[in-house]
Structure 1
Amino acid sequence: MDLRDLRYFETIAELQHLGRAAERLHRSQPALTSSIRRLEADCGAALFEKSGRGIRLTEAGRVLLKWARRMRFDVEDARRELGTLGAGLSGHVRLGIVPTAAQFLLPEVARQLLEEAPGVTLHTAVGLIDTLGPRLRAGELDLMVATLLSPEPGFRSHALAEDLIVVAASEHHEIHQVRPALRLADLDGHAWALQPPGAPTRDWLDHTFERHGLPRPHVQVETTMLLMLPALIARTRLLSFISRHHLQGPNRVPGLKEVPVLEAQMRRRLVVTSREDAFLSPAAQRLLDLFVSAAQTA
C-alpha cells in the first residue's frame, strides 16, 4: 500500500465527501478515485459506500482507517525520533491545555522549560477536552493537560492536581447576605454567566439542579471564553461556576467571593496525557516531567 494513498484515504474518510476531500488535498476527484481503487484492490474489498449526497466507510473501510492512522503515527514518530538524534532538548512541542491549567500551571512550567532549553518552541492550544481529546488522538498534539475522564485504551495519564469548581459572585452580590451556609435552592432565581451546554462544568451544574428538583440555572450570559468569567462576574450581579483557584492565593481575582453551597461543588482531577505508544521527543518528555514536578510541589 502506498502511504500517499493512505493519507488521501484518511482525509476522504474524515470528510465523507470526495469533492471536499479534493479541495482540501488540492487533488482532482479522478486522482482520488484512482487512489481509492488501488487501496480496494490491495484490500480485496470496497472501502466506501454511498450515503445520501456523500459517502461513508464500509466495515472494511473502518478497519483500514484504524491501521492507516496507526501507520501514519509510526512514520511521523520515526521521522521525529530520527530528527532528535543528537539534538538534545530542542525542537517543537505541541501542547493542548484546558483554560484553568493554562492560567495556573502553564506559566511556571513553561518558564522552567525555556530556561533549560532555549531552543525549544512551544505551541499551545487552549480549549476544552471535547476539542483537545480528538486532536491528541489524531496525533496533532504531543501532550494534553485536561480533566481526567474514563480510562481509554491507547493513552497514558499522570495525575497533576485536584481542582474544585464552586459558585462565585461579586463580593457585593446580595446572595452573600442570605445566610452563612446556603442551600442549592437559594441560588434559584438568580442570573448566571456560564459556558454553553456540552461543557463539562455546565452540564454538571445543570444536572445537579435537576437532581434536586430545581429548574436549571437562568443563564443571562453564555460564553466559550472561560477565562473571561471571573472578571465578568466581579463587575456584574451574575453568579458563575469557576475554579476555586480564582478565589484564593496569589492569582485570586479581586472583587470575587465564593458562594458556599456544598451541593454545588464539583471536584475534578487534572492530568497530563500522551498517546501510549507515541514517540515523545526529549523536549516533550521534559515538559511532561515538569508538569508532574510542579503539581507535586504545589
Structure 2
Amino acid sequence: MDLRDLRYFETIAELEHVGQAAERLHRTQPALTSAIRRLEKEAGAPLFERAGRGIRLTPAGRVMLRWAQRLRFDVEDAQREVGDIGRGLSGVVRLGIVPTAAQYQLPQAVRRLLREAPDVRLKTTVSLVDVLMPMLRAGELDLVVGTEGVPESGFVSRRLVEDHVVVAASADHELFNGKPSVKDMSAYRWVLQPRGAPTRDWLDHTFVRRSLPRPEVQVESSTLHMLPALIAETGLLSFVSRKHLDVTAGSYPLREVVLKETTMKRWLVVTHRTNAYLSPAALRLMALLS
C-alpha cells in the first residue's frame, strides 16, 4: 500500500467528503477516488459507503483507518528518531497543556530546559483536555499535560502534582461574615467554565447530591486567567485552582471559601501515546515538569 494513498484516505475519512478532502489536500477528486480504489483493491473490501450527501467508513474502513494512523505514526516517529541521533537535547517538542499548568508549572520547567538545551524549540497548545486529547490521538502533539481522567487504551500517563480546586470569592464577600455551607453558596451567582469541563461537572454534582440546584452561572468562560479579575470585580463566586489564590493575592484580594465538601482534589498528569517515540528533549521536559 502506498503511504500517500493512506494519508489521503485518513483525510477523506475525517471529512467524510471527497470534495472537501480534495480542497484540503490540493488534489483533484479523481486523484483521490483513484487512491481509494487502489486501497480497496489491496484490502479486498470496500472502505466507504454512501451516507446522505457524503460518505462514511464501512467496518473494513474503520479497521483500515486504525492501521493507516499507526503506519503514519511509525513513519513520523522513525524520521524524528533518526533525525535526533547526535543532536541530543534539541529539536521540537509539541506540547498540549491545560491553562492552570501552563500558568503555574510550565514557565519554571521551560526555563530550566532552555538553560540545559538552548536549541530546543517548544510548540505549545493551551486548551482544555477535551481539545488536547484528540490532537494527541491524531499525532499532532507529543505530550499533553492535563487533569487525570479515566485510563485510555493506547496512552500512558504519569502523575506530576496534586492540585486542589476550591470555591473562591472576593476577600470582602459577605459569605465570610459567618461559617458558610454548600446551601449558603447556592444563593449566589457564579463565574464558571462551560459544562463538560471536569471541574464544572464535579461542582454541579456536589450541589445535586445535596438536593440543591446547580450553581447559577452568570458568566461562563473557558479562559481561566481572567477568572481572578472577574471574581474580584463582580462579587461572583468561582471554582478555581488554589494556585490562583496563591499567585493573585497581591493583584486581586481573593479568599478561599474553606469547605471540605467543595474542595476537589485532582492530579495533573503528563500523557503520551504508548508506543510513540519521545525525543530526548521531550523526555527531559517530562522530568522537569515532575
The TM-score normalised by the length of structure 2 is 0.97
Residue in 1 aligned with 2:213? Answer: 215
Residue in 1 aligned with 2:187? Answer: 189
Distance 2:62 2:79 in 1: 26
* 2:39 counterpart letter in structure 1: L
Q: Contact 2:228/2:252 (CA < 8 Å) preserved in 1? A: no
Residue in 2 aligned with 1:172? Answer: 172
1:189 is displaced (CA, Å) by 2.0
2:261 to 260, 263, 269: 263
Deviates more, 1:32-41 or 1:148-157: 148-157
Q: How many residues get paired?
A: 289
Distance 1:20 1:218 in 2: 42
Residue in 2 aligned with 1:97? Answer: 97
SS state of the match for residue 45, structure 1? coil
Distance 1:162 1:138 in 2: 28
* 1:247 counterpart letter in structure 2: L
Distance 2:248 2:135 in 1: 30
Q: Confirm whether residue 163 of structure 1 aligns to residue 163 of structure 2.
A: yes
Runs of 4+ in 1 over 6 A off after TM superposition: none
Q: Contact 1:94/1:123 (CA < 8 Å) preserved in 2? A: yes
* 1:57 counterpart letter in structure 2: L
Residue in 2 aligned with 1:41? Answer: 41
1:156 is displaced (CA, Å) by 1.4
SS state of the match for residue 161, structure 1? strand
Q: Contact 1:22/1:32 (CA < 8 Å) preserved in 2? A: yes
1:173 is displaced (CA, Å) by 1.2
Distance 2:186 2:86 in 1: 61
SS state of the match for residue 234, structure 2? coil
Distance 1:96 1:143 in 2: 6
1:17 is displaced (CA, Å) by 1.2
Question: Cα deviation per residue 1:20-65 (whole Å; 9 max; x = unaligned)?
Answer: 1111111111111111000000000000011111111000000000
SS state of the match for residue 118, structure 2? coil
* 1:212 counterpart letter in structure 2: R
Question: Cα deviation per residue 1:180-229 (whole Å; 9 max; x = unaligned)?
Answer: 3x211001121110111111111111122111111111111111111111
Q: Confirm whether residue 60 of structure 1 aligns to residue 60 of structure 2.
A: yes
SS state of the match for residue 67, structure 2? helix
Residue in 1 aligned with 2:8? Answer: 8
Q: Contact 1:183/1:262 (CA < 8 Å) preserved in 2? A: no
Distance 1:183 1:17 in 2: 54
1:98 is displaced (CA, Å) by 0.6
Distance 2:223 2:245 in 1: 18
Q: Contact 2:169/2:237 (CA < 8 Å) preserved in 1? A: yes
Residue in 1 aligned with 2:240? Answer: 242
Q: Contact 2:155/2:274 (CA < 8 Å) preserved in 1? A: yes
Residues 286-297 of structure 1: matches in 2 within 5 Å? 286-292=284-290
Q: Contact 1:160/1:272 (CA < 8 Å) preserved in 2? A: yes
Tell me the C-alpha RMSD between the 2 structures: 1.1
- Any stretches of 5+ residues in structure 1 without a counterpart? 293-298
Residue in 2 aligned with 1:109? Answer: 109
- Any stretches of 5+ residues in structure 2 without a counterpart? none
Residue in 2 aligned with 1:145? Answer: 145
Distance 2:30 2:202 in 1: 49
Residue in 1 aligned with 2:131? Answer: 131
Residue in 1 aligned with 2:121? Answer: 121
Q: Contact 1:93/1:120 (CA < 8 Å) preserved in 2? A: yes
Deviates more, 1:101-110 or 1:149-158: 149-158
Distance 1:195 1:39 in 2: 44
Residue in 1 aligned with 2:204? Answer: 206
Question: Cα deviation per residue 1:103-139 (whole Å; 9 max; x = unaligned)?
Answer: 1110100000001111011111111110111111111
1:231 to 221, 224, 229: 229
Distance 1:160 1:144 in 2: 12
* 1:97 counterpart letter in structure 2: I
1:278 to 276, 279, 286: 276
Q: Contact 2:228/2:248 (CA < 8 Å) preserved in 1? A: no
Residues 61-100 of structure 1: matches in 2 within 5 Å? 61-100=61-100
1:251 is displaced (CA, Å) by 5.6
SS state of the match for residue 102, structure 2? helix
SS state of the match for residue 235, structure 1? helix
